[in-house]
């Protein structure tokens, strides 16, 4: 049965990288590997400019009616003064919350061809394969109260609130445990339980939940140490599970171990298996419009979509193999360029992946 995909390209490099991911989807559609219908919608700054709203009601409705959403990236300096990404019911946060996408999976895998591009020594990262499981609809990005108020003294006070309920922690830990059962059976829960009560509770809930998974080896680490360990000895990690903000930061850090933030895809899933798929990076305004952005994270996000929402694991594997093949051919966008390789732009990289697929 045909599956519905909603494409929201967004801002900055969003439309450029999504165009390449669409070529891959369309190639798979054309050769009969998948049966999908594709619609577009607006989000972020583009939606604000067109409709005065960074998450128009029709975008949220279309997303709810789809089997999967493919997102580029949102935001940029033009819209930052408007604070559109700080309203939890609006923009990207609103779309994630509106779809209930509480589980964000961010695989940090080093393609062996990119060992030279990693910020770490080849022997420290060879074979790196970490799954970061980030809670995505709670924590400090959503907690109330939030905002900036002016005190009677005239001084301003900025407030954000870190909140988790036990059930929110329990469900994300179970996602991490289920994933770990299919991998190395090791989960490191990352918190700041020495300082923050909310994450002290997080740790207690993780310990209670793991009792249902006798084969899982659960460890705990404070987030500052986890950041350090990621760049010291990343292969000690199999699955990491953590809060919304800690996962946001640690995954950008882990991305560099694989060569570039332009290499890391993600899947954001709800309780019904519906998903949104996006690269972990943002709209990269510094390189937008130049045709130099790396589209591989977005293309690999399509592979995650095929695996998690479209029940097409063979097609997902074909995409991953095609990416490996273009790297074997020596093609590199600027962010992963190294000596002796051939530098290509966004579109040439997308075309090469399609050629390797077919
Ligand atoms: N999921 C999303 O839509 C996200 C949106 N943002 C938004 O994006 C805007 C820019 O944020 P930044 O902090 O600069 O983060 P960013 O991830 O957009 O860029 C950080 C750095 O990585 C580079 N980069 C990112 N993606 C790349 C790619 N595919 N190929 C090559 N280089 C790449 C950029 O050129 C920049 O130097 C902001 O408005 C921010 O709010 C930031 C993160 C995630
Ligand atoms: C709106 C932000 C939380 C986006 C971001 O940085 C991310 O999801 O990685
Ligand atoms: Mg981020």
Q: How does pLDDT run across 309-358, given as a tens digit for each residue? A: 999 999 999 999 999 999 999 999 999 999 999 999 999 999 999 999 98
Catalytic site residue 157?
no
SS3 294: coil
Residue recorded with tokens 């899933």: 269
For the chain, the first-to-last Cα distance in angstroms comes to 23
Q: Is the separation of the CB atoms in 166 and 217 below 8 Å?
A: no
Domain 103-269 grouped into CATH 1.20.1440.230 = no
Cis peptide before 145 (omega within 30 of 0): yes
Which of 3, 23, 90, 192 is catalytic? The answer is 192
Whether the domain at 1-101+285-358 and the domain at 103-269 fall into the same CATH topology: yes
- Report residue 214 as tokens: 């006798």
77 annotated among ligand-binding-site residues: yes
Give the Å distance between the CA of 89 and the centre of ligand 2: 14
Pocket flag, ligand 2, residue 223 (CB < 6 Å): no
| Ligand-binding site membership of 293 (annotated) | yes
Burial pattern 327-358, b for ≥16 Cβ within 10 A else e, equals beeebbbbbbbeeebeebbbebbbbbbbebbe
Q: Candidates 3.40.718.10, 3.40.120.10, 3.40.605.10, 3.30.460.10; correct CATH number of 1-101+285-358?
A: 3.40.718.10
What is the residue extent of each domain of the chain?
1-101+285-358, 103-269
Taking the CA of residue 296 as reference, the ligand 1 atom at the shortest distance is 29
pLDDT, tens digit, for every residue of 268-281? Answer: 999 998 999 999 99
Q: Please say whether the beta carbons of 111 and 323 come within 8 A.
A: yes
Closest C-alpha residue for ligand 2 atom 7? 248
What pLDDT score does 81 carry?
79
ipTM associated with this complex: 0.99
Query: Does the structure show a pLDDT above 90 at 101?
Result: yes
Kindly state if the Cβ of 85 falls inside 6 Å of ligand 2. Answer: yes
pLDDT digits (tens, 9 = 90+) for 113-141: 999 999 999 999 999 999 999 999 999 99
Active-site annotation holds for 235:
no
Instruction: Say if residue 179's pLDDT is above 80.
Output: yes
Q: What is the pLDDT of residues 181-233, one digit of tens each?
A: 999 999 999 999 999 999 999 999 999 999 999 999 999 999 999 999 999 99
The pLDDT value recorded for residue 90 is: 86
Q: Is the CB of 263 under 6 A from ligand 2?
A: no
Q: What is the mean pLDDT of the chain?
A: 97
Give the nearest ligand 1 atom to 287 CA.
Answer: 35
Whether 284 is in the pocket of ligand 2, judged by its Cβ within 6 Å, is no
Q: Whose CA is nearest to atom 4 of ligand 2?
A: 282
Q: Hey, is 79 helix, strand or coil? A: coil
């Amino acid at each position: 049965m045909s599956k519905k995909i909603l494409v929201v390209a967004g801002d900055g490099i969003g439309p450029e990288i999504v165009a390449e991911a669409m070529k891959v989807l369309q190639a798979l559609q054309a050769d009969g590997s998948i049966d999908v219908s594709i619609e577009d919608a607006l989000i972020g700054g583009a939606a604000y400019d067109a409709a005065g709203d960074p998450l128009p009601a029709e975008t949220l409705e279309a997303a709810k009616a789809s089997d999967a959403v493919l997102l580029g990236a949102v935001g940029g300096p033009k819209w930052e003064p408007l604070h559109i990404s700080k309203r939890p019911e609006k923009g990207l946060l609103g779309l994630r919350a509106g779809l209930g996408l509480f589980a964000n999976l961010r695989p940090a895998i080093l393609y062996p061809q990119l060992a030279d591009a990693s910020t770490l020594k080849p022997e420290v990262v060879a074979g790196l394969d970490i799954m970061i499981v980030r809670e995505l609809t709670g924590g400090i990005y959503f907690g109330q109260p939030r905002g900036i108020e002016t005190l009677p003294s005239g001084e301003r006070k900025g407030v954000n609130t870190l909140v988790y309920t036990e059930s929110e922690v329990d469900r994300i830990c179970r996602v991490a445990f289920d994933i770990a059962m299919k991998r190395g059976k090791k989960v490191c829960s990352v918190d700041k339980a020495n300082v923050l009560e909310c994450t002290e509770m997080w740790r207690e809930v993780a310990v209670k939940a793991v009792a249902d998974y006798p084969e899982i080896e659960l460890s705990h680490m404070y987030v500052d140490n986890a950041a350090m360990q990621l760049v010291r000895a990343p292969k000690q990690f199999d699955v990491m599970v953590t809060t919304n903000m800690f996962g946001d930061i640690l995954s950008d850090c882990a991305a560099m171990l694989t060569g570039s933030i332009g290499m890391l895809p993600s899947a954001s899933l709800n309780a019904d298996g519906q998903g949104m798929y996006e690269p972990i990076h943002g709209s990269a305004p510094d390189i937008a419009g130049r045709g130099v952005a790396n589209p591989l994270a977005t293309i690999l996000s399509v592979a995650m979509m095929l695996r998690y929402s479209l029940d097409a694991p063979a097609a997902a594997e074909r995409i991953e193999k095609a990416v490996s093949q273009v790297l074997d051919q020596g093609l590199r966008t600027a962010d992963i360029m190294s000596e002796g390789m051939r530098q290509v732009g966004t579109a040439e990289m997308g075309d090469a992946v399609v050629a390797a697929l077919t």
